[in-house]
Structure 1
Amino acid sequence: MWHDLSDSGITYAEKTLRTVAVYVLILVLLRLAGKRELAQVNSFDLVVMLLLSNVVQNAIIGPDNSFTGAAYGAAVLVATNAVFVRLAARYDRLGRLFEGRPTTLARDGRWLPAATGWRGMRREDLEVAIRRQGGDGVGDTAQVTLEPGGTLVVSLNEEDQSADKADVAALQAAIGDLRREIDGLRHGR
């Protein structure tokens, strides 16, 4: 039993090489698939992600079903990710290569069909993202951007933005002025 838990069947050097190679392959595939795959995971995308993880499992650990082999493969995968993330953060050019650039999907209250269509993004999903960020629809937006990591950033038109602390403070000050003016009128001043 203990032998089965620890016998890896392949060398740790091979396991390391396999893990890094599969990581780079998946990174390239996701980059080619586009940011939509990361932006709003729908049922189709979830199925692909789950199956993808299962498909590449044997490529990472090979015929190894041991606990130590799985633990080692997981550790190499996490370490590889940490290295790539730090490299992308340190070198802008490498970050753009791995993740791409922001993409404007809508401007001045109108969708940009070339940008949304090319990425396979449904407008219904994008409208939901706008509502989550305080707008009623694309007409309320100054710009909608798909960031490299897949995040949708909505910039609302100034008149459609929610009140902030400065707006509340200005209203409170105006109410205070009105109260003082009313009190002055009551007391004949």
Structure 2
Amino acid sequence: MEGILPLIWKTLLLYIVIIVSMRLMGKRQIGQLQPFEFAVAVMISELAALPLTEDDRKLHHALIPIAVLVTCQLLISYISIKGVRIRGYICGKPTVVIRNGRMLEKTMRKEMCTINELLEQLRFHSVQNVSDVEYAILETNGQLSVILKSQKRPVTPEDLKIETKYEGCTIDLIIDGILMEETMKKMNIDKNWLDQQLKERGISDYRMVFYAAVDTSGNLYVQKKGEYLE
């Protein structure tokens, strides 16, 4: 029992340190990380495991290197924001791998991108034929951006000269029985109006609501808890 409590304390502390470190690095998904950011994330996770797996390692053996890595990452991010040329050296540059429906063999070899990998990425974008692509660009984070030829793009209301109404974001009002009071204040949504709308639907308590939201037209969407379980 004596050895378990310090281990739990170390684990919780390192968990908090990692969460804070990741938050400082910015809101990025794994697939959106630049190479140097991914390297920092992997090193932080490895360093955090040392005091937990090796008895001779003290807590500061992980905390100090993690602090140094986060500082370096923030410094590099700051420098890359300030200078376009420096950003190119640190993050690299986007590379065109398909132009006018033709795969660029030399560029693909340079980027070590195989035909199978490229076709797989195209399928993720619902593209079946390489000939339909005007440009495919391999971004610095490894993601593929696809620009279809104008004849192959989906038709938009603008193409048909159809006027459309403005559509803003749907505003979350209740999530899993919890009222989003701060959101309602920011968006100037009257709580009494919401209560009346819920009352008309036979709902007397926010805890009965699984999800509720309102769109820019004032239409309220409500789903009760237990209404759809499958």
- What's the TM-score bracket when you normalise by the shorter of the two chains? 0.5 to 0.7
Per-residue CA deviation, residues 29-69 of structure 1 (Å, 9 max, x unaligned), is: xxxxxxxxx89xxxxxxxxx7xx859x96xxx9xx822222
Q: Does 1:151 align with 2:139?
A: no
What is the count of residue pairs matched by the alignment? 125
Unaligned runs of 5+ in 2: 11-30, 33-38, 165-230
2:135 is paired with a residue whose SS is strand
Compare relative contact order (CA 8 Å, sep 6+) and give the higher one, 1 or 2: 1
1:163 CA drift (Å): 3.6
Name the counterpart of 1:133.
125
Unaligned runs of 5+ in 1: 7-37, 40-48, 173-189
Matches within 5 A, 1:103-114: 103-114=95-106
Which of structure 1's runs of 4+ aligned residues deviate more than 4 A?
none
Per-residue CA deviation, residues 108-135 of structure 1 (Å, 9 max, x unaligned), is: 1110000011221111111121122232
Name the counterpart of 2:115.
123
Q: Of Structure 1 and Structure 2, which has the larger fraction of its residues in helix?
A: 1
Name the counterpart of 1:96.
88
Report % sequence identity. 20
1:79 is paired with a residue whose SS is helix
Q: Does 1:86 align with 2:86?
A: no
Per-residue CA deviation, residues 132-151 of structure 1 (Å, 9 max, x unaligned), is: 22322311100111122322
Q: Of Structure 1 and Structure 2, which has the larger fraction of its residues in strand?
A: 2
1:75 to 64, 67, 78: 67
Task: Measure the CA separation in 2 of the matches of 1:83 and 1:90.
Answer: 11
- Given that residues 106 and 144 in structure 1 are in contact (C-alpha distance below 8 angstroms), is that contact kept between their aligned partners in structure 2? yes
Change (3 A) 1:114 1:66: same
Task: Measure the CA separation in 1 of the matches of 2:161 and 2:59.
Answer: 59
Task: Measure the CA separation in 2 of the matches of 1:169 and 1:134.
Answer: 26
1:171 CA drift (Å): 9.7
Matches within 5 A, 1:49-64: 53=43
Change (3 A) 1:67 1:114: same
Task: Measure the CA separation in 1 of the matches of 2:58 and 2:155.
Answer: 57
- Given that residues 131 and 137 in structure 1 are in contact (C-alpha distance below 8 angstroms), is that contact kept between their aligned partners in structure 2? no
| Amino acid corresponding to residue 117 of structure 1 in structure 2 | R
TM-score (norm 1): 0.53
Task: Measure the CA separation in 2 of the matches of 1:159 and 1:140.
Answer: 8
| Amino acid corresponding to residue 119 of structure 1 in structure 2 | E
| Amino acid corresponding to residue 127 of structure 2 in structure 1 | G
Task: Measure the CA separation in 2 of the matches of 1:137 and 1:66.
Answer: 56
Name the counterpart of 1:181.
none
Change (3 A) 1:134 1:166: farther
